[in-house]
Structure 1
Amino acid sequence: MKILAIDTAASLCAACVYDSDARAEAGRAVIDLGKGHAEHVMRVIGEALQAADTAYDAVDAVAVSVGPGSFTGVRVGVAAARGLALALKIPAIGVTTLEALAVEAQDSFPGRPVLVVVGNRPDSLAAALYDATGACTQAPALASLDRLAESARAARPVLAGNAAPLVAEAAAGDVDLGPQRATADIGVYARIAAGRPAGESPRPLYLRAPDARPQTAYALPLKER
């Protein structure tokens, strides 16, 4: 089975083709954008398919990062995956950035629990805890840096995610650090999806409200009927 994986949840716009039968990646394309994923995602997907010498109609499933991450970036990736799945009549499979980072950490630290922490607000970081088997024991939620440091001191997990160094410093202990990024390697998303049955269409995982707010300074009064 060939899986097309897409990740636009953070600064990267990434796609790869993974052959689950061979357990090998066939091709990928990755660019570091920061912003502007909507303008580039289809080109990146096309380049990944070309690198894998694979046509759209040879893809059996689409995997996509559903966040947490950039509000707009997550929406772009999920919309692209759902659109392709609908057009190609194949399943779309959602994978969170937290579980992908946990799997990547356990590749380097097998048999260890992993605490994944992403974000840039010390008072409100997105986190999830995974046990030594990879099962999620604390579902994705927002937590303060102090609370996460306390969890790190108690459970002694491997820390992963772009906020992992912050938690390690706050914990003031000898901790192991896994990947220190906001998202995992694109191939990890494909590997996870390969072992997951298709379910409902993927939906963005938002743990906080968007920063954008309706403009009110120049709002016109409603006309009375």
Structure 2
Amino acid sequence: MILLAIDCAASLCAASVYDADADRELGRSVRDLGKGHAEHLMAVIDEALGQAGKAYADLGRIAVSTGPGSFTGVRVAVSAARGFSLALKVPAVGVTTLEALARETRDALGPRRVFAVLDAGREEIHAGLYDETGAVLREPVVLSLTDAAAIAASGPIALVGTAARMVADAAATDKPFGFGPMLATADIGTYARIAAAKTPAERPKPVYLRAPDAKPQAGFVLPREEK
């Protein structure tokens, strides 16, 4: 099975073409954009397909990072994945940024519990807890720094994500922590490998743990003219 993975959850706009049967990446394209994912995503996908020597018709599955992360970036990637799934008549599989970061930590450090934590600003942490096999112990949730630190201090655990050091410093414990990548998203190849092993279920949905910062300016809405 040939799989296309895409990720726009953080500053990167990334695509990978992955041969699941051979467990081998065939092509990839990654751009560090910050913003503007919608304008670049199709070109990034085309670059990855071209490097792999594959066409859209060769794809048997779509993988997409579903967040938490950039509200706009996640929406762009998930919308694209669902569109490809519908047009190509292939399943789309969602992978959260937290489970992907946890997978990279286990790959680097060996089997262990992993607490994936992202700095969401406003003194909030986006967090997910995973066991030694990657099974979810705690679904993605918004925590205070105090609550996240308490979980980290509860037992042997590895920390990963942009808030990893912050949570470790706040944890009142002498127990040493293992650390994974202190990044906002995982390598695009990690999303591909996770999605290849999943059983497709419902269509992927964005993982939004809080409302978007941008809101309609209701005070500037013009009144409707009665006819």
* CA offsets 1:3-29 (integer angstroms, 9 cap, x no match): 000000111000001111111111100
Q: Which residue of 2 aligns with 1:154?
A: 154
1:89 has 2:82 as partner: no
CA contact (8 A) 1:126 1:143 kept: yes
Aligned match of 2:197: 195
Indicate if the aligned counterparts of 2:152 and 2:171 stay in contact, CA closer than 8 A: yes
1:179 — aligned with what?
181
Tell me the distance in 1 between the aligned counterparts of 2:152 and 2:35: 32
Q: What residue identity is the alignment partner of 1:201?
A: R
Report the CA distance between 1:223 and its aligned residue.
Answer: 4.6
**Does the CA contact (< 8 Å) of 1:92 and 1:198 recur in 2?**
yes
SS in 1 for 2:178: coil
Structure 2 residue aligned with 1:5: 5
Aligned structure 1 segments of 4 or more residues deviating by more than 2 angstroms: 216-225
1:105-156: per-residue Cα shift (whole Å, max 9, x none)? 1001212100000123263211010011211111110001111111111123
**What TM-score, normalized to structure 2?**
0.95
Letter in 2 for 1:218: F
1:218 maps to: 220
Kept after mapping to 1: 8 A contact 2:26/2:51 = yes
Partners of 1:82 and 1:201 within 8 A in 2 = yes
What letter corresponds to residue 82 of structure 2 in structure 1? R
Q: Quick check: 1:122–1:144 contact (8 Å CA) kept in 2?
A: no
Q: Which runs of 5+ in 2 are unaligned?
A: none
Alignment of 1:44-193 (within 5 A): 44-121=44-121, 123-171=123-171, 173=174, 174-193=176-195
Contact preservation (8 Å) 1:163, 1:180 = yes
C-alpha root-mean-square deviation of aligned residues, in Å?
A: 1.4
What count of residue pairs does the alignment treat as equivalent? 225
Q: Report % sequence identity.
A: 56
Letter in 2 for 1:180: M
- Write the distance in 2 (CA, Å) between the matches of 1:129 and 1:204: 19
User: Once the 2 structures are TM-superposed, how far is the Cα of residue 42 of structure 1 from its aligned partner?
Assistant: 0.4
2:120·2:126 contact (CA, 8 Å) conserved in 1?
no
